[in-house]
Chains A and B, each alone.
Chain A
Amino acid sequence: MPWLNAGGKRFPLDKEGFLNQKYHWTEDFSKEYARVLKIGLTDDHWRVIRFVRDYIQKYHIPPILKMVCHGTGFSEPDMQRMWGVKPMTNACRVAGVEKPTGCI
């Protein structure tokens, strides 16, 4: 199983590189994971991370891309520029939340 060392803590990841909900997320985790994925974290990125984390606290699944765009004011091409070809996958990875399962 892969893992990530950040801020003196060891975070186990699943096979697709998502952090399990039962481990406590820290800001260091996001910073370190973004460095590994070669994403330079800016305030815009943090806005997305906070939106995703707030949403999952309330509804227990990550928001869809359209919702993130609506909530943060970025367009879909903006999100792709910020997070790569699969914006929600990478945003969920860095934000330390699991992706939904099933036929997705």
Chain B
Amino acid sequence: MKMREFLYRDGILSPIVQSALKPLKPYHWVSDLPKMEEGYLDGVQVVEPEPMEKQLEYLFSICDSFDSLTKSNDNWTFLKVLYHSIKYCTQCNLCSEFCHVYIGSGRKEIYRPIFKSEILRRVLTQQIPLDYIIASRLVESSYRCNICRRCATACPLGVDNGIVAREIRKAFSQGLGIAPTALHQDGTFKQLRLGSTTGMTPEAFRHLIRFLECEIRDRSGLPVRIPVDETNADILLFNNPGEYLSWPENIQAYALLFHLAGVNWTLSSSPGGYDATNYGVFYDDVQLARILLEQARTIHELSPKKVIIGECGHAHKAMMVLQHRLLPSKLRINADSIFNYLPDLIGKGAIKMRRQLSPVTLHDPCNVARMLGITIPQRQMIEDISTNFVDMTPRGCDNYCCGGGSGLALLREPEQEAFRCLVAGRVKYQQILDALAKRPTSGNRYVIAPCSNCKSQIRDFLSFYKSDIKYIGMAEYVANSISQVEPMFGG
């Protein structure tokens, strides 16, 4: 008896491994490539030009942009990872069961993590000819991946299919200017022109902060300040602008905590200083460097002792990891994470805390947990202030992505929202339900979502599934435990 039959007969292998052993069906390249049923993304179609002579030219430029991925001069940032991932993937499919999009889609072939990298490999090694259909569906499929890189943690060889998806996006964006409108025109472009991806100008920002300062003073009865543009502050809080507009209580909670702990802190209102987002992380190296440079210059003008990155996942990646690779040494920033800073501050005991009773679970943003490995401090802090903390399974570095990662939460077209809630966010929602089901209660149940992207995704799928679970930011949850003031921040 052959070994494989023996293993199948006794059911020793788990279904995960069984699916890995099944021979993959041969692909029919054109008909089996991802034809997305959930509608097209705004701005990412590869449109065939009308005149015949231009068609060939355009096809060459598509080939050129793929070629540039493989040259060390054009792609010195990620060439090594891309090369090893493309070369050494053995198609064992072990990563598939680690992918929340693949599981959430009901295990559809096109959502396997290796699918797009396998197409890219065959295109690059000229096993299949590149044409418009393959090009357009390839770019489409790269925007169906959250680049959470959970698949990379599963791979025994360290193949990173998340990076491959990002490299496909990069080839199309840098070579052909094809990128989603929400990320490029309404994101990066707006940030470089106006100062913020939200379209918030410095005047609007200062007005908003003044308003929020007055409001928190009225509510708390304490002389809380939200300092702006103060030189020689100990820390500069570098936050996502979505927090100011959609979850303004986040900055109020920080102001309250910092006031009670006596921290000398500030915000910046210069363009590049109040917006920690960098959508270049999701799709384009050139835009990434442009924004990072702008932000580094602004921060150096203000010269704070330390920069604390607020509750924003990809800002952690850009400011705490990528800047060390991209910026010259004199422009580098001394940055730390709020996930380290806030637990330290609470742990010092400067603020008197009381314990909260409502059940709460904690989501780990991929860029903070898997990328930087910060999982313990925030857990210990929340365990200290909550009597009813229950962790998700799996947790920490193995936690699932919310389904809105890599900018998918910004795509607000109805079809995209359906994809995010029905496919990408399904596993996360199940995880939250499972965690909180262990602690039934008649009161509020919370999930802490400490990242703007995760917050908007979790908000969307909780309302999509009509759930009574509330989401809340980390700062708001901690500030609700201050014993000096009444809990004032809602989920």
B203 & A59 in contact (Cβ 8 Å cutoff) = yes
The answer, yes or no, to whether B241 is at the interface (CB within 8 Å) is yes
Once A59-B203, A61-B204, A101-B190 are accepted as A-B contacts, the answer to whether A15 and B211 lie under 8 Å apart by CB is no
- Tell me which residues across on chain B come within 8 A of A70, comparing CB atoms: 211, 215
A101 & B211 in contact (Cβ 8 Å cutoff) = no
Residue from the list A64, A85, A102 in contact with B197, Cβ < 8 A: A102
The answer, yes or no, to whether B19 is at the interface (CB within 8 Å) is no
A103 & B211 in contact (Cβ 8 Å cutoff) = no
B412 & A102 in contact (Cβ 8 Å cutoff) = no
B204 & A60 in contact (Cβ 8 Å cutoff) = yes
Residue of A nearest to B249 (CB): A66
Once A16-B412, A102-B186 are accepted as A-B contacts, the answer to whether A64 and B245 lie under 8 Å apart by CB is yes
- Tell me which residues across on chain B come within 8 A of A8, comparing CB atoms: none
Q: Which chain B residues numbered 201 to 220 have a C-beta less than 8 Å away from chain A?
A: 201, 203-204, 207-208, 211-212, 215
A101 & B215 in contact (Cβ 8 Å cutoff) = no
Chain B CB within 10 Å — which of A15, A16, A60, A100 has the most?
A100
Chain A CB within 10 Å — which of B182, B204, B452 has the most?
B204
The answer, yes or no, to whether A67 is at the interface (CB within 8 Å) is yes
User: Given the complex of chains A and B, what is the CA–CA distance between A70 and B214 in angstroms?
Assistant: 11
B42 & A102 in contact (Cβ 8 Å cutoff) = no
- Proximity bits, A50-76, B CB within 8 Å = 1, else 0: 000000000111001011001000000
- Proximity bits, A15-47, B CB within 8 Å = 1, else 0: 110000000000000000000000000000000
The answer, yes or no, to whether B413 is at the interface (CB within 8 Å) is yes
Once A66-B248, A103-B452 are accepted as A-B contacts, the answer to whether A15 and B414 lie under 8 Å apart by CB is yes
Name B's interface SS.
helix
Q: Give chain B's interface residue range (CB within 8 Å of chain A).
A: 35 or more
The answer, yes or no, to whether B153 is at the interface (CB within 8 Å) is no
B413 & A101 in contact (Cβ 8 Å cutoff) = no
Once A64-B208, A101-B410 are accepted as A-B contacts, the answer to whether A59 and B186 lie under 8 Å apart by CB is no
A103 & B199 in contact (Cβ 8 Å cutoff) = no
User: Given the complex of chains A and B, what is the CA–CA distance between A91 and B264 in angstroms?
Assistant: 39
User: Given the complex of chains A and B, what is the CA–CA distance between A70 and B312 in angstroms?
Assistant: 28
B197 & A101 in contact (Cβ 8 Å cutoff) = yes
The answer, yes or no, to whether B318 is at the interface (CB within 8 Å) is no
Minimum CB–CB distance from B400 to chain A (whole Å) comes to 19
B198 & A102 in contact (Cβ 8 Å cutoff) = yes
Once A101-B187, A102-B187 are accepted as A-B contacts, the answer to whether A61 and B215 lie under 8 Å apart by CB is no
The answer, yes or no, to whether B366 is at the interface (CB within 8 Å) is no
- Tell me which residues across on chain A come within 8 A of B204, comparing CB atoms: 59-61
- Proximity bits, A69-104, B CB within 8 Å = 1, else 0: 010000000000000010000000000000011111
A100 & B187 in contact (Cβ 8 Å cutoff) = no
Query: 21 pairs across A/B with beta carbons < 8 Å?
Result: A16-B412, A59-B204, A59-B207, A61-B198, A61-B199, A61-B201, A61-B204, A61-B245, A64-B244, A64-B248, A66-B212, A67-B208, A70-B211, A100-B199, A100-B200, A103-B242, A103-B277, A103-B312, A103-B453, A104-B198, A104-B245
Which 10 A-B pairs rank lowest in CB-CB distance, beginning with the nearest? A103-B242, A102-B197, A59-B204, A101-B186, A103-B452, A100-B198, A102-B198, A104-B246, A104-B242, A15-B413
